[in-house]
Amino acid sequence: MATKKKTTKKRKKKKSSSEAAKDLWIKGIANAESESRSYSIKNNYEVGEVIDHKLFGRGVVKTLVGNEKIEVVFEDQVKTLVQNK
C-alpha cells in the first residue's frame, strides 16, 4: 500500500510594521506629484502631500484623521500629527 506524502505550503513571511511603513514611504515618495514643504502644526495637509518634519524627516500624508490630525508615513514609521491648530 502506497502512503501519501504530506505536502506543506510555504507561508510568506509577514512584514514587520517598520518594513510595511518603509514600503508605503517609498511608494509615496515615488508617486508624489508636488515638492515637499516643512511641517507646521498650523498648516492644513492633504492625502499624498510630501512634508518635511524636523524630527522624523520626509514623509507622505497617508490619511486624514478628522479635521485636526493626519497620519504620515515616514521612512521607518507611521505617525499621527496635528494640523490646523
Q: Is residue 8 part of a domain?
A: no
**Mean pLDDT over each residue of the chain, to the nearest integer:** 85
39 pLDDT higher than 90: yes
Q: Is residue 6 part of a domain?
A: no
3 pLDDT band, cuts 50/70/90, is low
Q: Is residue 64 part of a domain?
A: yes
Grid cell 501519501 is found at 4
Q: How far apart are CA 61 and CA 20, in angstroms?
A: 15
pLDDT for the residue numbered 33: 67
Q: Is residue 16 part of a domain?
A: no
Q: Is residue 22 part of a domain?
A: no
Q: Is residue 15 part of a domain?
A: no
pLDDT for the residue numbered 63: 93
pLDDT for the residue numbered 35: 83
Q: Is residue 18 part of a domain?
A: no
The H-assigned helical ranges of the chain are: 17-31
Number of domains the chain is built from: 1
Read off the pLDDT of residues 17-33 as tens digits, 9 standing for 90 and up: 777 777 888 888 887 76
